Amino acid sequence: MSIETLAEIALAMVAPGKGIIAIDESNATIKKRFDGVGVECTEENRRAYREMLLTTPNLNQHVSGAILFDETIRQSTKDGVPFTKIMMDNGIIPGIKVDKGTFPLAGFPGEVVTEGLDGLRDRLKEYYELGARFAKWRAVINISDDAPSQTAIDANCHALARYASLCQEQGLVPMVEPEVIMDGSHDLDECYDVTEAVLLSLFNALREQGVMIEGTILKASMVISGTTCEEQAEVEEVAAATLHCLRSTVPATLPGIVFLSGGQSDEKATAHLNAMNQMGEQPWPLTFSYGRAMQSAALKIWAQDLTGNLAAAQQTVFDRARANGLAALGEWTA
């Protein structure tokens, strides 16, 4: 696929006032979410839940794409219509999570590296045939007294770059996600330093692997205080620090940046995005790719009655999408 086509898809993913909904939880992760609301984690319940999300009326007004899990991209509605067809018929671009999760980084206790490159070319080819037009790979960077090491940063960024190159070879826009984890006692400045080092390593690796930046999307974590840090940065501080870090590391040719919520509350994730978009024009669109911050409220409603609360759950999904869509324009009000 040509770079022009990849660039067109990437730009459509970050269209004004729209973002990405992440519903790519593994079966183990979705089980934890279901356990928390008292829903049995069967294949049918997972299918029904994701149908509720993907068939939310008017979702395409604020959502440009959705990241799916391997099981989900193969599933259909209760009426037998493939999820990918439902999405494409409504102008929502199908995406797919392709990494195989994190594993211990040998020789570096407490640090991890994401795996999944083996056989990836063939898997990407199949996902394209199933309807996917973009993919996602998540790296995990932990902050502690001894971490992250430069080795862990570089190993994860190299894997992200290899994945991205394979995606573009198969006609898929790569979404690269080097998540700096919020958990920890680190302050805003330490998060800034780690995020800067990660992004510098990432874009260096992407260039080395011949990845076309114009056909790539960055899924970024925000520069934010650790969850147990005594001094929590204010919304404007998070927004300013995040923008400064991005401007110093991310090429202007990148089509756009989508943010992960990373465990923030629904409203905080929206407020931070809104504040960034109120700080003047940036080289790239800034929007959302939220999972929990788009789903958690709707999941609680849906869980109370898996069929009877469908409309109420979908209204909540739409409301969250609308709030984040407005934040992507800097027009959200609490």
For position 15, which CATH number holds? Answer: 3.20.20.70
Does 191 map to a domain? yes
Q: Is 324 exposed, middle or buried (0-12, 13-18, 19+ CB in 10 A)?
A: buried
Pairing of strands 93-97, 286-290: unpaired
- Is residue 16 reached through a cis peptide bond, with omega within 30 degrees of 0 on the bond before it? no
Encode the chain (334 residues) as per-residue pLDDT tens digits: 688 999 999 999 999 999 999 999 999 999 999 999 999 999 999 999 999 999 999 999 999 999 999 999 999 999 999 999 999 999 999 999 999 999 999 999 999 999 999 999 999 999 999 999 999 999 999 999 999 999 999 999 999 999 999 999 999 999 999 999 999 999 999 999 999 999 999 999 999 999 999 999 999 999 999 999 999 999 999 999 999 999 999 999 999 999 999 989 999 999 999 999 999 999 999 999 999 999 999 999 999 998 899 999 999 999 999 999 999 999 999 8
User: The tokens of 111 are what?
Assistant: 């640090």
Q: Which amino acid is at 316?
A: T
Does 69 map to a domain? yes
pLDDT of amino acid 113: 98
User: The tokens of 180 are what?
Assistant: 């700096």
Pairing of strands 102-104, 112-114: antiparallel
Does 196 map to a domain? yes
- The domain of 173 spans 3-327
Residue 44 CA to residue 23 CA, distance in Å, equals: 16
User: The tokens of 223 are what?
Assistant: 């520069």
pLDDT of amino acid 334: 84
User: The tokens of 118 are what?
Assistant: 């083996």
User: The tokens of 156 are what?
Assistant: 């994860």
pLDDT of amino acid 1: 63
Does 130 map to a domain? yes
What are the tens digits of pLDDT across the range 109-164?
A: 999 999 999 999 999 999 999 999 999 999 999 999 999 999 999 999 999 999 99
CA angle at 320 for the pair 317 and 323, rounded to the nearest 5°: 150
The reply to whether the predicted model has a pTM over 0.95 is yes
What are the tens digits of pLDDT across the range 54-83?
A: 999 999 999 999 999 999 999 999 999 999
* Catalytic entry in 177, 179, 230, 300: 177
What's the whole-number average pLDDT of the chain?
A: 97
For 328-332, the CB contacts below 8 A with 24+ separation are 328/16, 328/17, 328/18, 328/19, 328/273, 328/277, 328/285, 328/286, 328/287, 328/288, 329/16, 329/17, 329/277, 330/274, 330/276, 330/277, 330/278, 331/274, 332/270, 332/271, 332/273, 332/274
Rg (CA), the chain: 19
Residue 269 CA to residue 246 CA, distance in Å, equals: 17
177 catalytically annotated = yes
- Which residues fall within 8 angstroms of residue 308, CB to CB, at 6 or more apart? none
Residue 161's SS3 state is helix
pLDDT of amino acid 3: 82
Query: DSSP for 64-122?
Result: EEEEE-HHHHT-B-TTS-BHHHHHHHTT-EEEEE----EEE-TTSTT-EEE---TTHHH
Does 321 map to a domain? yes
- For tokens 């629904």, what's the residue? 266
β-pair partners for 173? 134
Does 302 map to a domain? yes
Domain count, the chain: 1
* Catalytic entry in 219, 236, 268, 331: 219
Does 332 map to a domain? no
The answer to whether residues 215 and 7 touch, using CB atoms and an 8 Å cutoff, is: yes
Does 182 map to a domain? yes
